[in-house]
Chains A and B, each alone.
Chain A
Amino acid sequence: MPRHLQGARSAFVPDSTSPVLEISALTKVYGGKNASTKALNGVSLTVQRGDLVAIMGPSGSGKSTLLNCIATIDTPTSGTIRIAGTDTARISRSGLADFRRTQLGFIFQDSNLLDTLTARENIALPLTIGHVPADQILKSVEAIAKSLGVAEVLDKYPYQMSGGQRQRIACARALVTHPQLVLADEPTGALDSKNAKLLLESLDAINRAQKATVLMVTHDETAASFCKRVLFIRDGKVFCELVRGADTRREFFEKIMQVVAVQGGVDDAR
């Protein structure tokens, strides 16, 4: 992992001995005294370097809130989040932008590419914002695009690409800075099954090749089955955890389906 890219003009020095993500006793309460909602109710979890984790849960389970808190977009009510050893609550407001740029990568459901920029420019954005030298930017962009199989659309605009291509460009944008942690919010949500599979395979490949750590929120069991670990969240708590271990993807998929079915059953029984 090239240090000059990772730390470009950043005050944050990642601690390589700590886990990439360490969450303990996280709570988030919305609303005032009379009508408060506990979106997160004591979530604790740890993600090690090079992990590929999925978080699953029904609507309203608190998984989006969790992701927002990790992303430093929302602030938790109590508990701590450490990313590569840094307590995110201790980062100043002005430092947050810098932190996000250098330590985190984002992939959204609707790729959120900028319409006016070409694919190449979209991928380059986090690097240009960090004032990385132009030659290095262009080299990094080419490299990441090649590994995601989108090198041929680099000079196209978002409207000229397919949904799958757009999402892989968004992936490339998230990965180009070699962040400590990539946060993906329903990355396959807007894709058909073929494109979804393509995207997940690329993510998997990059996870293996570059030891990129990915935390993915998803509804989709197939997407989850590509991961090494799946955490199920319900009512603001971690409900259960599955580890793929030596299972094939199909076997892992079946296990996930069982948990989902049980979860559904519990919901129906209520």
Chain B
Amino acid sequence: MLAKLAFGNMRKLMHDYAVYFLTLVMGVAVFYAFNTISVQADFLSNSLSDVLKQVGEIMHGLTVFLAVIMGFLMVYANNFLMRRRKKELGLYQVLGMRAGQVNAILTLETLMVALISFIVGIALGALISQLLLFVTADMFATKVDNFRFFFSPDALALTFFCFAITFLVMMVMNSITLSRVHLIDLMSAGRKNEKQFVRHLPLSFVLTALGLVLMGYAYWRLTTQGFPLGGSNPEPGQTTTNDFLVTTALVVAGTFIFFYGFAGGITLILQRMKKHYWSGLHMFTTRQIASRINTAAASMGLIALILFFAMTAMTSGMSICATLNKSYEAGVPFDASIGVVGSSLEEKTLDWKAYAKQAGVDLDAVGDTVSFRVGYMTNGEGYLTIDSLNEMSAFTGKSIPQGYEKAVAWEAISLSDYNALRTFKGLDPVSLDEDQYLYLCNMDTLESFVNTALEQGFTITAAGQTLTPARSSVIDDDSCILQNDAIGKTPGIYVVADDIAEELPNYRWALDINYRVSTENGDLAVKDLADTIAASNDELYVGSETKTNAALEGTTTTGLISYMAIYIGFVLVIACAAILAIQQLSNASDSAMGYRTLSELGCPEKTIFSSLRTQVIFAFALPLIVGIAHSICATAAVNKLLLMFGQSSIIENVGLGIAIFALVYGGYLALTYRMAHGVVKGAIRSARHAL
């Protein structure tokens, strides 16, 4: 009997709150699909396998975090539905059912709901994961080998675990709700005129303004102060963690205060527009929206903040990817480079030709090459390197730019080697006097700091000679990148006359190649040569970086970040959209009799539905707009941070993120309107029983 009741209820609920089920199913599907990444590794090339397994670990951690948020929102949605069923639950008790039995019905219902949505969700997730495999392959720039249907028990177990806990919490909350309320309240719920949470209108206006001011102030703080880079031990003048916490608190408080005041504020303004307000259903629409925001101010504020977080995670993730991609491109100007570090070697020259011969590689046939030696500047006493940046800071009285305190500049290259490199790159050679030096630097923020020192005639001592700057500014062209490396950023390298360079101790040698042969053959030759050098001398540390390799590393990192960004964004956006949808739908059915009254008063259906549409769109748009505003500010700050790594701060690649966001959010909006439309239409068309 109880089971039959529970089953009937569940079917009714599934119909009335299809959005809730859709969300549960999607949540399960997405959790499962994204956690199959370690299984997906089996289908992809071996070199990615390990990487993807690591990504899988991160995904598991992320899933637990997202499950907590998703679970919280689902529990909220469930409580919301429970509130709406008070009368029904009261009726069971009036008919003589014990509270325990009602609780049993609820528990059974919850279990059935959970079971069905879990099974459907896993089935859907299994399908999605097959598609996701190809997306993964694309993201990590590889192809799928021998595809077949796959299923991941690990992902299933993790999803089940998260889901089970969420539903356990729901069940507990349900029985708490049930045990707390009195029968009389259950029965009379819905019969009273709904109390309106109306705040004093002028006060609301002040609150709205205050909220905006707080948010604006927080924006200003974040854009001027940036992120706390100093960690727990910030240096003077740096943004502290406390500063950042204050900014965060300001924006959170501002958001909530804004939502508490907004409804009243907007009503006050619209009422002043008399002609507009007292025409058609405008005042009805305004009041409905105001009432909705007033009763749900806290949840709307929370949703705005979660949307903000999701969007920032996505856009930042994407722009980090874009920046990394840019620096990979900038960082690997040659087809390949071999670097040999060996400060203990007495010999000043490294015989590349001899090693090539030993490795059986014809360097001239493989490609065009350029090679050079990099020495290091000493302070003249033993082997201690000079500390240029700090000396410059002392010399000019300007402090080292924030974030560059740990940067070093003590490498030096001879003028001949440097000019050879410039010629290799197609740049004009430069000239230099015996007692002069040039400074290579391509880090935007650092350049102006160094330029000040050069302008003021900052001198260095090398091989016992005092050198003065040959130019009043640094050289920041492509020649700053002597060889392929991951970052493509040079804080500082000195160029000195050949005689002086000859005196400086060895630091490293490097060989750059642009292939004449195919990339594959070229990469093989480079590997052979590097291996041969490494094998010839234990004291040499040999590293090679090919364009191919850099591209692979690049796509791995960007792939991982994109993956996480999309995962976070997707889960959070469906959770938020679902809450908004459920609120709007239950609001529509609460107001159904009101819409019916409007129809009886002679309001055309078209006008009624246009009002409903405005209400639904507004409820979805307001938190989104606030979230977007926050997100633009935060993304701007993130970009500022990224400026330190790359010259480009233009947000690129956010297209996919925006598309997913728009699709999911817009989809929920459209679905919500369609369902609310159905509810209202039913109410208008059905005969009023009382009449």
Mark A residues whose CB is within 8 Å of B.
64, 67-68, 71, 73-74, 94, 97-102, 104, 106, 108-110, 112-117, 121, 124-131, 133-135, 137-138, 157-159, 166, 173, 185-186
Contact = CB atoms under 8 A, between A and B. Distances in A.
Contacts of B198: 157
Contact of A73 (B193, B280, B288, B687): B687
The 6 closest A-B pairs by CB, nearest first: A101-B602, A134-B278, A100-B602, A116-B287, A159-B193, A116-B291
B607 to A, nearest CB: 7
Contacts of B281: 128-129
22 contacts: A68-B688, A73-B688, A73-B691, A94-B604, A97-B604, A98-B604, A101-B601, A114-B594, A114-B597, A115-B193, A115-B591, A115-B594, A116-B287, A117-B283, A121-B283, A124-B278, A124-B283, A128-B283, A131-B279, A134-B275, A134-B277, A159-B195
Contacts of A94: 604
A185 B91 CA distance: 28
Contact of A112 (B290, B291, B597): B597
A110 B192 CA distance: 11
A159 B196 contact: yes
Contact of A159 (B194, B287, B607): B194
B594 to A, nearest CB: 5
B690 A101 contact: no
Given A71-B600, A110-B690, A114-B597, A125 B284 contact: yes
B688 A126 contact: no
A77 B366 CA distance: 97
Contacts of B278: 124, 127-128, 134, 137-138
B284 A114 contact: yes
A146 B607 CA distance: 30
B690 A185 contact: yes
A134 B283 CA distance: 12
Given A68-B691, A126-B601, 20 more contacts: A64-B691, A73-B688, A94-B604, A97-B604, A100-B602, A101-B602, A108-B691, A114-B287, A114-B594, A115-B594, A116-B291, A116-B594, A117-B284, A128-B280, A128-B283, A129-B607, A157-B198, A159-B193, A159-B195, A166-B193
B193 A116 contact: no
Given A73-B688, A114-B594, A124-B283, A129 B196 contact: no
B312 to A, nearest CB: 35
B142 interface: no
Given A128-B282, A134-B277, A97 B196 contact: no
A127 B688 CA distance: 23
Interface in B580-621: 591, 593-594, 597-605, 607
B274 interface: yes
A125 B597 CA distance: 10
Contacts of A117: 283-284, 287
Contacts of B290: 116
B690 A129 contact: no
Contacts of B591: 115-116
A114 B288 CA distance: 10
A97 B196 CA distance: 29
Question: Which of A74, A98, A129, A135 has the most B CB atoms < 10 Å from its CB?
Answer: A129
A130 B601 CA distance: 10
Nearest to B196: A157
Interface in B262-298: 274-275, 277-284, 287-288, 290-291
Contacts of B607: 129
B603 A115 contact: no
Nearest to A141: B278
Interface string B185-211: 000000011111010000000000000
A127 B279 CA distance: 8
B687 A97 contact: no
Contacts of B691: 64, 67-68, 71, 73, 108, 185
